[in-house]
Amino acid sequence: MSSQNQNRSLEQAGPSGSGGQVGVRVVNWSGSDRLCISPKRDHKPENYDDLQFEFNPNIFASLEHYLPPHMLNLSRDVKLHYIRNILLRYLPENDRIWIQKLREYRLKIILNYPPLHKEIFTMDAESFFVPSFLRAIKENTEASFRSIMAEPCKGVYTFEMLQPQFCKKLMSEVDHFERWVHGTKLRIMRPNAMNKNKHGVILDDFAFEAMLDRFMCDFIQPISRVFYPELGGSSLDSHHGFVVEYGINKDVELGSQGQKAYLKFRILVKM
């Protein structure tokens, strides 16, 4: 695509929402524009949560920090179009097809699944987390985080986080979901990318995604920003929340998740 055509497509990018008129604005940049190496930390990105694209809305908000300076104050639709074009270059068609199927699968569940404990699908920090964890998050310092942590080996931290009652509700919700899936004959997607795990569910698939977004941004990122800055701990943009059951005649390992780099935050619940 020539730089002239690229400019035209960006200038005429319509609004991502429904309704409204498309405004045209002349934007002077060339096809050589690139994302910045260092993010602009003090920039407040747009909210992309209303979008229904093949990418998590958090990715757009995260990448907006890396836009060329002259683009930061342009309309959301121009920035959206620009970022999405970049992402599509690195997402093969097969992956886009799979993402579309995943979206349809999740929508089918959300429209039909009857939750057992509706209250755990919305973030409620006081009932989810133990007081010591909430105090550490509120103080938001390395010292406060270390005060609740043990470090059994370098770079691995353990700490108490979830209320026992929340854990019981979560486990009963997972059991309820498994029974519902079995009754509807819906083929369940397991946590491992290759579906090697036979016992477990992906929480994002049945309406936990919004709650996990809050969990990641408000309660995990403050910690990862301090302890894993070199691994992108300050700019977490997606999550893969799941429950796996290990035991005799059940899963014994999670298996490979491919070559994608990620931070692993594991919650152990003893039953």
Place of tokens 């992108």: 232
User: Of the candidates 45, 49, 47, 50, which has an alpha carbon nearest to the alpha carbon of residue 17?
Assistant: 50
* Cβ proximity of 105 and 97 under 8 Å: no
d(CA 75, CA 15): 9
Give residue 247's pLDDT.
58
CB neighbours (10 Å) of residue 95? Answer: 11
Map out the domains of the chain as residue ranges. Answer: 105-268
* pLDDT of the residue at 97: 83
Contacts of 248 (CB under 8 A, 6+ apart): none
DSSP designation for 220: I
The amino acid at residue 182 is H
pLDDT in tens, the chain (271 residues): 333 444 433 333 344 443 333 333 334 444 446 888 888 889 999 999 888 777 778 889 999 999 999 899 999 999 999 998 888 888 788 887 888 888 888 889 989 999 999 999 999 999 999 999 999 999 999 999 999 999 999 989 999 999 999 999 999 999 999 999 989 988 888 776 544 556 688 999 999 999 999 999 999 999 999 999 988 888 888 888 888 876 555 544 545 444 344 455 666 555 4
Residue in this structure with the two tokens 């990018």, named with its chain if needed: 13
- Between CA 56 and CA 79 the distance in angstroms is 15
* Of 31, 135, 53, nearest in space to 99 by CA: 53
